[in-house]
Amino acid sequence: MKYPSPHSIARRWWVSGWIWLLLGGVLATPNLDLMQRLAQERYGENAAETVVAWRQMMDEARSQPVEQQLNLVNQFFNRRIRYALDPDIWGVPDYWATPLETMGRGMGDCEDYAIAKYITLKLLGVPNERLRLIYVRARTAGALTEAHMVLGYFEDPTGEPLILDNLITSVRPASRRSDLTPVFSFNSQGLWVAGQQQSNNPTTRLSRWREVLERMSTEGL
């Protein structure tokens, strides 16, 4: 996964509230029965069972404090989804999967984990402004770095986020993830580079983020 430039980020991945409405009010009236049926039809019994377990997890999490919700969602996807690269899953270099596609295949890469956790927490009622998908440089063994994506929860928009990551099972403050260096972050309302929100015309061309939102809108979200 290559690091895009801030200019290309703003041009390709900015998703404003207007675009969110344009795409059919994603998450406004989710049809989880449709998701479960599509999982069965497209991927089989195991996928349908995963969607059932996902719904049960959300039912359990709804009455919990937000930090417990973060832990439940992080653990669910980290335990249920096997890490794999896009060429092995989809036969293409880079593909952003919907939660249904990720649960259907039972596999995903870092973007797929982060997107599934983001959508699930929004379904649980966590405010969108507290959630951002964050591109980072992750330091690996041998002091090498690689592109990676995590989900951040911001109790305070200008404060330190809690990090949900497929690499580790626990949700930790960013200060305890010295192996991660943020590059940029985004959600359905904006994009941040170096901690500053960028602005752009919502009608500019969108790429994988818009595509995954459009597919979700046909899958019950």
pLDDT per position as a tens digit, 93-113: 999 999 999 999 999 999 999
Q: What pLDDT score was predicted for residue 143?
A: 66
Is there a contact between 135 and 151 (Cβ–Cβ < 8 Å)? no
Q: What is the pLDDT of residue 208?
A: 80
Burial of 137 (0-12, 13-18, 19+ CB in 10 A): middle
- Residue 162 in contact with residue 172, Cβ under 8 Å? yes
Which H or E element spans position 97? none
pLDDT of residue 221: 86
Q: How far apart are CA 105 and CA 42, in angstroms?
A: 10
Q: Which is more confidently placed, 70 or 189?
A: 70
Ranges of each domain in the chain: 6-217
Spell out the CATH class of 6-217: alpha beta
Write the pLDDT tens digit of every residue in 126-165: 999 999 999 999 988 766 889 999 999 999 888 899 999 9
CB-CB contact of 89 with 207 (8 Å): no
pLDDT, tens digit (0-9, with 9 covering 90-100), for 176-217: 999 999 998 888 777 777 666 654 432 233 478 888 888 999
